[in-house]
Amino acid sequence: MSKEYNISVIPGDGTGPEVVAEGIKVLKKAAAKYDFSLNFTHYNLGGEHYKATGEILPDKALESLALSDAIYLGAIGHPDVKPGILEKGILLKLRFYFDQYVNLRPVKLYEGVNTPLKNKGPEDIDFVVIRENTEGLYAGAGGCLKRGTLDEVAVQESINTRKGVERCIRYAFEYCRKRDKAKRLTLCGKTNVLTFAFDLWERAFNEVAKEYPDIETDYAHVDAVCMWMVKNPEWFDVIVTDNMFGDIITDLAAMIQGGMGIAAGGNINPDGISMFEPIGGSAPKYTGKQIINPIAAIMAAQIMLDTIGEQKAASCIEKAVIKVLRDDLKDVAAGKMGYTTQEVGDLVSENL
């Protein structure tokens, strides 16, 4: 009997629904070709739903999301809603609730895609960032006193647990081994200043490393990682880092791989329910225009299939995307592709 997967879909805000529709188009085609089936359940969550109902992410939605095999998310963020409400209330809540402790962000420059880095090509830009996804500055620890007065105090603390750090590092070593490229894992930290948090990270890293003698270990401060990423991106194979640094360096990384139209990621709980998303956000100014690039959303679907165990279908999607980027699209930026959002989805589907 062929395998069946229940996929929860949260199209979300802005251009989320447009790009998710193309991802689903490609997923359906891949499922038919590789003989598995996907049942999609849509959830109406996001800025519009919040404005209309006051509801952000109700418990009943969490209960039913918990029954799915994976979550496919478009974008969260609405220009009329105060920053933080939807991001914390939906996106971060889902990451924490489902304990998706790894944020996986492949950074690969495909042929035919422009990078702003001079003299660098696809052979130089091919690495993966593994960002811790449930702790650090994102844990929400802290508070403020005397807000709005001259005596105001604001404290926001980075929480790093040995367990949380170690499981992320272990995932990174395993990933690096499975990827089987340069077999080099770089810890990105700030041991020269954040002498408590990154002392813990460094000790956990060095201890786990002993179990992986086949992996070369490497360390760089986060500021140096930014420098190397621009100067010598070919150095990197897999990078592991904390939540905040991971957030920052993956935007830089997205730019050198061609921009937000391409960049995708997974929020992974290896023993639970993972969630996959294009990392570009809701892009309100492009909403409804059919000019946004759906490749990032299609690649998020690709990472989803790879993670749930449909590697053949996943690699077929990647090949189709490679072909479309190389032979068809004029540019990856919104409005410059030479095709509409739907047409790009059709092109990838036809090439499967």
Which residues of the chain form contacts with Mn ion (CB under 5 A)?
247
Alpha-carbon distance 31 to 305, whole Å?
A: 10
Stretch binding ligand IPM (CB under 6 A), from 85-93, 151-159, 161-169, 252-260: 85-93
Among 31, 65, 91, 238, binds ligand IPM (CB under 6 A): 91
Site string for ligand IPM, 143-162 (x = CB under 6 A): --------------------
Specify which residues 189 forms β-bridges with.
221
Between 129 and 317, name the residue whose CB sits nearer to Mn ion: 129
Does 137 contact ligand IPM by CB under 6 A? no
Does 56 contact ligand IPM by CB under 6 A? no
Note every long-range contact of 320-328, with CB atoms under 8 Å and residues 24 or more positions apart, other chains counting.
320/26, 320/348, 320/349, 320/351, 320/352, 321/110, 321/295, 321/348, 322/110, 322/111, 323/351, 324/295, 324/348, 324/351, 325/110, 325/111, 325/112, 325/113, 325/295, 326/110, 326/111, 326/112, 327/112
Does 255 contact ligand IPM by CB under 6 A? no
Residue with smallest beta-carbon separation from Mn ion? 247
Stretch binding ligand IPM (CB under 6 A), from 57-65, 86-94, 181-189, 327-335: 86-94
Give min distance, CB of 5 to Mn ion, in A. Answer: 27
Does 69 contact ligand IPM by CB under 6 A? no
Is the distance from CB of 27 to CB of 59 less than 8 angstroms?
Answer: no
299 binds, options ligand IPM, Mn ion, none, Cβ within 5 to 8 A by partner type = none
Is the distance from CB of 274 to CB of 307 less than 8 angstroms?
Answer: yes
Between 249 and 313, name the residue whose CB sits nearer to ligand IPM: 249
Question: Strand, coil or helix: what is 231?
Answer: helix
Sign of CA dihedral 192, 194, 199, 201: negative
- Within a 10 A sphere around the Cβ of 21, how many other Cβ atoms? 17
Stretch binding ligand IPM (CB under 6 A), from 84-92, 164-172, 226-234, 335-343: 84-92
Between 237 and 247, name the residue whose CB sits nearer to ligand IPM: 247
Between 138 and 339, name the residue whose CB sits nearer to Mn ion: 138
> Cα separations (Å) of 74 from 20, 65, 88, 216, 317?
6, 15, 16, 36, 18
Does 26 contact ligand IPM by CB under 6 A? no
Give min distance, CB of 58 to Mn ion, in A. Answer: 25
Alpha-carbon distance 204 to 208, whole Å?
A: 6
User: What is the binding site for ligand IPM (CB under 6 A)?
Assistant: 87, 91-92, 247, 279
